[in-house]
């Protein structure tokens, strides 16, 4: 039933007008208080900031399961990849039956294995709905006039590369016009270190992971149940990408790449906190046969506009070396903005300058500590004759609802997916509250120009977008004690300075059973790390935690004691001797094995 898929306080005005509010509140027994949610239907443009002449409406807010990628059918139905699937399925379809712009009928479908909150991929192509989880690409045939596709679910591709795939395993989908689809196989590590993410450790050279990972492969659409070996590798040197699309204008493949992490944590002798917050760049690239973007040996510095050697391979932030031979991006965005979708605008509703240009959804950073988190907006890149002109612009802002974002959980909404409707409207999805906006142009297209864009220029100066001042914008609180210092250095990047995690990959520490429970288990996890999904406070998290065996017994004891006695936790301390005992037992077990 429709009402079960909307949170209280998010009832479309069309239903309120029909006097169904009381019925809805009665049926929605699990609803939270309305004051906990933002009534987007009562806000101008659904709370978004847009260029002059553009308007937005919240198609839905409070979609149960929240939203990642989405696709819009030629009849206006919206298909959504759910972030938090339930036993009814991992996808949802929304329909506006009365034409007021808001969804008034929602169905959940698609029962298939789901791995955590990181499922990606939702596209419509030649009468089929395509979607993916972290290991498999599926499709279902759409039925004329019906919201739900045919029940038969075909498997196009299965990733059978094993447990080494625990990092960067998103499966966005793109199609060319010659009967192919494209899928990335992300790198199973940050920079091909062994052991992974260990301070000052060198990278493997040559990196053996490049044979099967860190690239994009092309597959045939007319074949089912394929494996990676059935495809053709198109590009290499790509650590992680979540946004992938085909540009029908120039018949080329484009992507937005997530840069590597942990410059400060892994190489504090070469990088400052400010450099680590801004670097390396997130890259906007054109993918052609044989292109190589340099991972793991190199990363792009958007300030130098140059590929430079990674520290694992002898780099210091300035050395170029072998990196001069790798492809540069079309545009380099600041680091850690998490560009998670890209769409080339093909409609004629928007002013002419938007046609064939690229919209990019920046989900927002998690690892800019001690500087404010950044991103959390939808950008636009104008194109002319198949190439970007100028630089990126702020197209839609206001998702986070705050400008200074210390922890990722401070952001109320985070843009994720982009799709174009049959009338040329742009749809934007949100992962945190389950909102979807429809952006339309209602002004005079002939009058649209620089003056209409002026109001968005000031957004580039907002703290969650601009380059932070190295001194004045540093938000880190003074660390009291060695445990706090170790936490800020090695843990806050993922678990955040407030201990609440990022809500998707990295779990919270406040009240977590892994923190407050068995000491031995907690020490083992810290020393060994974890590569499998982990359940914390009833939710699954899929982010990889690196081993911290390089820390001394004293450092491990101090940081775990800090965690167990902060963030609202009140548990007993952990001693050096307890850490030493666990470390000794692990070493003995390893020798026996």
- Is the residue at 27 inside a domain? no
Q: Distance (Å, rounded) from C-alpha 505 to C-alpha 457?
A: 33
Does position 18 have pLDDT exceeding 50, yes or no?
no
Average pLDDT, the chain: 89
Q: Is residue 477 part of a domain?
A: no
- Please check whether residue 414 is in contact with residue 376, taking contact to mean a CB–CB distance below 8 angstroms: yes
Burial of 474 (0-12, 13-18, 19+ CB in 10 A): middle
Q: What is the pLDDT of residues 217-246, one digit of tens each?
A: 999 999 999 999 999 999 999 999 999 999
Report the pLDDT value the prediction gives residue 481, as an integer from 0 to 100. 83
Assess whether 201 and 345 both reside in one domain. yes
190 shares a domain with 282: yes
Domain assignment present for residue 86? The answer is: yes
Q: Region of 107 please: left (phi>0), alpha (psi -120 to 50) or beta.
A: beta
pLDDT of residue 593: 57
Q: Which helix (H) or strand (E) holds 233?
A: strand 232-236
Which is nearest to 59 in space by CA: 398, 440, 348? 440
Question: pLDDT tens digits for 339-369?
Answer: 999 999 999 999 999 999 999 999 999 989 8
> Is there a single domain that holds both residue 294 and residue 383?
yes
Q: Are residues 211 and 252 in the same domain?
A: yes
Res. 115 pLDDT band, cuts 50 70 90: low
Mean pLDDT of all residues in 552-580: 89
* CATH number, domain containing residue 317: 2.120.10.30
Using the predicted structure, report yes or no on whether residue 34 has a pLDDT greater than 90: no
Higher pLDDT, 27 or 146: 146
SS3 322: helix
Q: Residue range 109-129: average pLDDT?
A: 84
**DSSP code, position 35:** G
Query: Same structural domain for residues 111 and 150?
Result: yes
- Please check whether residues 211 and 243 belong to one and the same domain: yes
* In a domain? residue 60: yes
**Higher pLDDT among residues 427 and 451, named by residue:** 427
pLDDT at 26 over 70: no
Considering only 109-113, 211-215, 268-272, which range has the smallest mean pLDDT?
109-113
User: Domain boundary at 406, 431, 461, which?
Assistant: 461
Listed residues 432, 461, 490: the one ending a domain:
461
> What element of type H or E holds 258?
strand 252-258
Mark whether 436 and 525 lie in a shared domain.
Answer: no
What pLDDT, on a 0 to 100 scale, did the predictor assign at position 337? 98
What is the rounded CA–CA span in Å between residue 508 and residue 80? 27
Residue 213, in any domain of the structure: yes
- Domain of residue 504 covers 482-592
pLDDT tens digits for range 300-322: 999 999 999 999 999 999 999 99
For the segment 525-563, what is each residue's pLDDT rounded down to a tens digit?
898 888 777 888 888 787 778 888 888 898 888 889 889
Residue 20 included in any domain: no
Q: Is the pLDDT of residue 216 over 70?
A: yes
Beta bridge partners of 57: 438
- Domain match, 150 and 297 both: yes
Least confident of 10-24, 49-63, 415-429, 473-487: 10-24
Q: What percent of the chain has pLDDT over 90?
A: 67
| pLDDT value of position 562 | 87
* Residue 483 confidence (pLDDT): 85
Minimum mean pLDDT among 245-249, 378-382, 406-410: which range?
406-410
Q: What's the pLDDT score for residue 479?
A: 56
Pick the last residue of a domain from 461, 496, 522: 461
23 falls within a domain: no
Predicted confidence at residue 542, as pLDDT, reads 73
The proportion of the chain whose per-residue pLDDT surpasses 70, expressed as a percent, equals: 91
Verify that 408 and 449 share a domain, yes or no.
yes
Find the angle CA(13)-CA(17)-CA(20) to the nearest 5 degrees.
Answer: 95
For residue 35, give Cα distances in angstroms to 6, 12, 30, 31, 64: 15, 16, 15, 11, 17
Indicate if 447 and 546 belong to the same structural domain.
no
Per-residue pLDDT, 421: 98
Contact criterion met (CB below 8 Å) for 361 and 420: no
CB atoms inside a 10 Å sphere around CB 22: 8
Q: What is the CATH number of the domain that holds 510?
A: 1.10.760.10
Is the residue at 28 inside a domain? no
- Over range 318-346, report the average pLDDT: 98
Q: Considering its fold, how many domains does the chain have in total?
A: 2
Do 140 and 93 sit in the same domain of this protein?
Answer: yes
DSSP lists the bridge partners of residue 198 as: none
Can you give the pLDDT at residue 116?
56
pLDDT average, residue stretch 168-184: 96
Residue 14 has pLDDT above 60, yes or no: no
Length of the chain: 593
- Do 341 and 297 belong to one domain? yes
């Amino acid at each position: 039933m429709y009402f079960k898929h909307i949170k209280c306080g998010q009832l479309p005005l069309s239903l309120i007008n029909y006097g169904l509010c009381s019925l809805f509140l009665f049926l929605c027994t699990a609803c939270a208080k309305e004051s906990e949610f933002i009534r987007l239907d009562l806000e101008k443009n659904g709370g978004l900031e847009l260029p002059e002449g553009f308007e937005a409406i919240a198609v839905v807010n409070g979609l149960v399961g929240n939203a990642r990628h989405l696709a819009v059918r030629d009849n206006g139905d919206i298909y959504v990849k759910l972030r938090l699937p339930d036993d009814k399925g991992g996808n949802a379809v929304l329909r506006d039956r009365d034409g007021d712009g808001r969804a008034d009928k929602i169905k959940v479908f698609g029962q298939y294995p789901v791995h955590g909150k990181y499922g990606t991929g939702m596209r419509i192509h030649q009468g089929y709905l395509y979607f993916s989880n972290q290991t498999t690409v599926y499709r279902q045939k759409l039925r004329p006039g019906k919201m739900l596709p045919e029940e038969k679910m075909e498997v196009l591709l299965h990733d059978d590369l094993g447990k080494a795939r625990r990092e960067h395993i998103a499966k966005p989908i793109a199609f060319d016009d010659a009967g192919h689809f494209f899928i990335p196989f992300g790198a199973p590590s940050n920079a091909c270190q062994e052991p992974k993410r260990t301070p000052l450790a060198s990278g493997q050279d040559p990196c053996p992971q490049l044979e099967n990972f860190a690239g994009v492969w092309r597959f045939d659409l007319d074949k089912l149940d394929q494996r990676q070996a059935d495809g053709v590798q198109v590009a290499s040197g790509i650590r992680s990408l979540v946004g992938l699309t085909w540009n029908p204008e120039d018949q080329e493949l484009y992507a937005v790449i997530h840069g590597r992490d942990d410059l400060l944590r892994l190489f504090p002798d070469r990088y400052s906190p400010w450099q680590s917050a801004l670097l390396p760049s997130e890259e906007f690239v054109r993918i052609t046969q044989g292109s190589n973007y340099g991972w793991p040996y190199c990363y792009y510095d958007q300030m130098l506009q140059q590929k430079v050697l990674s520290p694992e391979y002898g780099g210091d932030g300035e050395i170029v070396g072998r990196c001069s031979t790798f492809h540069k991006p079309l545009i380099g965005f600041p680091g850690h903005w998490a560009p998670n979708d890209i769409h080339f605008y093909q409609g004629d509703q928007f002013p002419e300058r938007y046609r064939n240009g690229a919209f990019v959804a920046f989900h927002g950073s998690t690892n800019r500590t001690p500087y404010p988190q950044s991103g959390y907006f939808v950008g636009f890149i104008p194109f002319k004759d198949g190439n970007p002109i100028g630089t990126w612009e702020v197209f839609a802002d206001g998702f986070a609802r705050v400008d200074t974002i210390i922890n990722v959980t401070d952001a109320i909404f985070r843009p994720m997916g982009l799709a174009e409707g049959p009338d040329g409207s742009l749809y934007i999805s949100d992962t945190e509250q389950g909102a979807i906006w429809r952006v339309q142009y209602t002004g005079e297209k002939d009058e649209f120009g620089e003056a209409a864009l002026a109001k968005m220029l000031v957004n580039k100066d907002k703290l969650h977008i601009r380059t932070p001042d190295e001194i004045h914008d540093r938000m880190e609180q003074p660390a009291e004690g060695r445990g706090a210092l170790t936490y800020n250095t090695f843990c806050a990047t993922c678990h955040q300075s407030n201990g609440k995690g990022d809500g998707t990959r990295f779990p919270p520490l406040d009240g977590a059973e892994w923190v407050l429970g068995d000491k031995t288990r907690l020490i083992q996890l810290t020393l060994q790390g974890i590569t499998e999904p982990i359940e914390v406070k009833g939710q699954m998290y899929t982010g990889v935690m690196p081993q911290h065996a390089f820390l001394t017994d004293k450092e491990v004891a101090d940081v775990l004691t800090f965690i167990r006695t902060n963030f609202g936790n009140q548990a007993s301390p952990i001693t050096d001797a307890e850490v030493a005992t666990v470390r000794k037992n692990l070493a003995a077990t390893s020798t026996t094995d």
